[in-house]
């Protein structure tokens, strides 16, 4: 995913946390902030040390999240910033499980458009 699709700065993360709304399931939390002036979505990914105390495990989870978001890119709402936070237990999930749980929470947050295929 290109840099233009990422939320990178701390103040951007904090703005999404404070002004946005949140939705969660057992494996992921999504914070979303609508930005009507934006031409495409931006995503931030947060994977804490509770997921895995080694960087290898955390990076593995981040890669799986990015891969799933890349696959869902045409169906994602374009005028928003959102942050994906992984909850404990995601380090041991298969790619298909990560994809299904992430898809579920994106639908709950109304970021994933289920009508277009």
> pLDDT per position in the chain (117 positions), as tens?
677 888 989 999 999 999 999 999 999 999 999 998 888 999 999 999 999 889 999 999 999 999 999 999 999 999 999 999 999 989 889 999 999 999 999 999 999 887 655
Torsion sign (Cα): 4, 116, 69, 83: positive
Integer Cα distance of 104 and 100 in angstroms? 6
Residue 17 vs residues 2, 94, 99, 103: alpha-carbon distances, Å: 22, 28, 23, 21
pLDDT at 116: 55
Nearest-10 Cα torsion for 115, 107, 62, 81: 90
Q: Is the pTM of this model over 0.85?
A: yes
pLDDT at 66: 94
pLDDT at 15: 93
Integer Cα distance of 42 and 50 in angstroms? 25
């Amino acid at each position: 995913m290109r840099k233009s699709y990422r939320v990178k700065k701390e103040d951007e993360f904090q703005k999404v946390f404070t002004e946005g709304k949140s939705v969660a399931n057992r494996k992921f939390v999504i914070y979303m902030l609508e930005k009507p002036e934006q031409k495409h979505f931006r995503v931030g990914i947060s994977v804490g040390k509770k997921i895995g105390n080694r960087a290898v495990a955390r990076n593995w989870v981040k890669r799986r999240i990015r891969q799933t978001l890349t696959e869902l890119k045409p169906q994602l709402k374009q005028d928003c910033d959102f942050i994906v936070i992984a909850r404990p237990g995601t380090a041991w999930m298969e790619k298909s499980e990560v994809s299904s749980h992430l898809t579920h929470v994106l639908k709950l947050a109304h970021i994933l458009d289920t009508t277009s295929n």
